[in-house]
Amino acid sequence: MASLTVRQLDEALKKRLRLRAARHGRSVEDEVRTILRSAAADEAAFAAAPEPGAPAEPSKPSDPAAKKALLIIGGGIAAYKSLDLIRRLREHGIAVRVVMTDAAQKFITPLSAGALAGEHPYTDLFDTKLELDVGHIRLARDTRMVIVAPATADLMAKMAQGHADDLASAVLLATDRPILLAPAMNPKMWSNKATLRNAAQLRADGVHFVGPNAGEMAESNEAGVGRMAEPLEIAAAAEALLTPSSGALAGLRMIVTSGPTHEPIDPVRYIANRSSGKQGHAIAEAAAAAGANVTLVSGPVQVAPPHGVNVVQIESARDMLAAVEKALPADIAVFAAAVADWRTANNSKEKIKKTGKGTPELALVENPDILATVAHRKSKRPRLVIGFAAETEHVIEHAKAKLARKGCDWILANDVSPETGIMGGDSNTIHLVTKDGVEHWPPQSKNEVATALITRIARTMSGRP
Task: Give me the active site residues, please.
Answer: 273
- Distance from C-alpha of 269 to C-alpha of 353, rounded to nearest angstrom: 12
Residue 402 to residues 272, 322, 329, 417, Cα–Cα distance (Å): 22, 22, 24, 18
Q: Mask of contacts with ligand C5P, 395-434, x by CB under 6 A?
A: -------x--------------------------------
Q: How far is the CB of 166 from ligand C5P (least distance, A)?
A: 47
Which is nearer to ligand C5P, 170 or 390 (by Cβ)? Answer: 390
Of 226 and 387, which CB lies nearer to ligand C5P in the complex structure?
387
* Smallest separation (angstroms) from ligand C5P to the CB of 337: 5
Cβ–Cβ < 8 Å for 207, 179:
yes
Which residues are CB-contacts of 130 (< 8 A; sequence separation ≥ 6)?
A: 122, 124, 136, 139, 167
Residue of 313, 288, 318, 316 lying closest to 302 (CA atoms): 313
- Which residues ranging from 225 to 264 are in contact with ligand C5P (CB under 6 A)? 257
Q: Contact letters (x/-) for ligand C5P, 295-334, by CB under 6 A?
A: ----------------------x-----------------
SS3 319: helix
DSSP string, 155-207: HHHHHHHT--SSHHHHHHHH--S-EEEEE---HHHHTSHHHHHHHHHHHHTT-
Q: Are 312 and 298 in contact (CB under 8 A)?
A: yes
- Of 229 and 317, which CB lies nearer to ligand C5P in the complex structure? 317
Q: Residue from 98, 337, 430, 452 that binds ligand C5P (CB under 6 A)?
A: 337
Q: CA-to-CA distance for 300 and 261, rounded, in angstroms?
A: 7
**Contact with ligand C5P (CB under 6 A) among 104, 339, 422, 454:** 339
Alpha-carbon gap, residue 233 to 52, rounded angstroms: 28
- In angstroms, the Cα distances linking 229 to 85, 148, 195 are 10, 12, 17
Looking at beta carbons only, is 370 or 395 nearer to ligand C5P? 370
DSSP-derived secondary structure letter, 142: S
- Single out the segment in contact with ligand C5P by CB under 6 A; choices: 83-91, 140-148, 368-376, 416-424: 368-376
Distances 214 to 126, 394, 441, 447 between C-alpha atoms, Å = 38, 20, 10, 22
Is 245 or 257 the residue whose CB approaches ligand C5P more closely?
257
Contact 24, 439 (CB under 8 A): yes
Question: Considering only residues 107, 335, 410, 441, which one is a binding residue for ligand C5P as defined by CB under 6 A?
Answer: 335
Q: Which residue in 238, 370, 385, 416 binds ligand C5P (CB under 6 A)?
A: 370
Farthest-apart Cα atoms in the chain, separation: 93
Q: Is 453 in the site for ligand C5P (CB under 6 A)?
A: no
From the list 169, 245, 275, 367, which residue makes contact with ligand C5P (rule: CB under 6 A)? 367
Q: Which of residues 116 and 255 has its CB atom nearest to ligand C5P in the complex?
A: 255
Check binding of 388 to ligand C5P (CB under 6 A): yes
The three-class DSSP label of residue 236 is helix
User: Which window, 24-32, 100-108, 268-276, 381-389, contacts ligand C5P (CB under 6 A)?
Assistant: 381-389
Binding window for ligand C5P (CB under 6 A); candidates: 25-33, 270-278, 344-352, 388-396: 388-396
User: Is there binding between residue 455 and ligand C5P (CB under 6 A)?
Assistant: no
Length of the chain measured in residues: 465
With contacts defined by CB under 6 A, name the span among 77-85, 96-104, 120-128, 382-390 that binds ligand C5P: 382-390
* Nearer CB in complex with ligand C5P: 171/324: 324
- Decide: is 290 part of the binding site for ligand C5P (CB under 6 A): no
Phi-psi region of 309 (alpha: psi -120 to 50; beta: other; left: phi over 0): beta
Taking contact as CB under 6 A, which single stretch among the options 40-48, 95-103, 239-247, 367-375 is the one that binds ligand C5P?
Answer: 367-375
- Touching ligand C5P, residues 46-105 (CB under 6 A): none
Chain residues that interact with ligand C5P, rule: CB under 6 A:
257, 317, 335, 337, 339, 367, 369-371, 387-390, 402
